[in-house]
Every structure is written in structure tokens, then in C-alpha cells.
Amino acid sequence: MPPSRDPFMAGLGQAVRIGTELLAALIVGGGLGWLADTYLFASGPWGVVAGLILGAIAGVLNAYRAAQRWTDGGSGAES
């Protein structure tokens, strides 16, 4: 599907993508923390807490990088 020429739809698509990346990072981080708590360490809720924190950090970092690419014109070139 070709990119939308409508700036509103292009911005909406970018916002949905960033939101999805944030949610996915939280789910993966929390899931890995739960797995560590349940099967590896039996450390109570601390694996989930650490996983959610690391997932949130990773999600914000991914969102920041995506926003930087968007403001650079979407070229995808890494600096």
C-alpha cells in the first residue's frame, strides 16, 4: 500500500505505530519478567517490575527514534 499523501492520515499512522511499539515493549518486558519470576528465580514480583521498567525504557527509546526519523522526513537514514 503506498504511503498516504494526506498529512493527517500519515501522522495518524505514525502515532498508531509508535503506540503499538510502546505497548509491545511493555508486554514483552513484563512477559520476560514473569517468566523469570515463575521459572528461573522465584523472586516474587521483582522480575515483573524490572521487566516492565526495562520494557518502558525500551519502548520510549524506540518511540524517540521513530519520532526522529519522522522529523527527518522519513528517509530512514541513520546518522
Q: Does 9 fall in a domain?
A: no
Q: Does 51 fall in a domain?
A: yes
Nearest Cα neighbor of 37 from 50, 56, 25 is 50
More reliable by pLDDT, 61 or 10 = 61
Show Cβ contacts of residue 41 under 8 Å, excluding neighbours closer than 6 positions. Answer: 47
Q: Does 33 fall in a domain?
A: yes
Q: Which amino acid is at 54?
A: L
pLDDT, tens digit, 9 for 90 and up, residues 39-63 = 888 778 888 999 999 999 999 999 8
Q: Does 58 fall in a domain?
A: yes
Q: Does 55 fall in a domain?
A: yes
Nearest Cα neighbor of 23 from 58, 47, 50 is 58
Q: Does 27 fall in a domain?
A: yes
The answer on pLDDT for 75 being more than 70 is no
C-alpha distances in angstroms, 54 versus 12, 14, 26, 29, 79?
Answer: 27, 23, 8, 6, 25
The mean per-residue pLDDT over the stretch 2-11 comes to: 76
Q: Does 79 fall in a domain?
A: no
What is the domain range of residue 38? Answer: 18-68
Q: Does 60 fall in a domain?
A: yes
Number of folded domains that form the chain: 1
Q: What is the pTM of this model?
A: 0.72
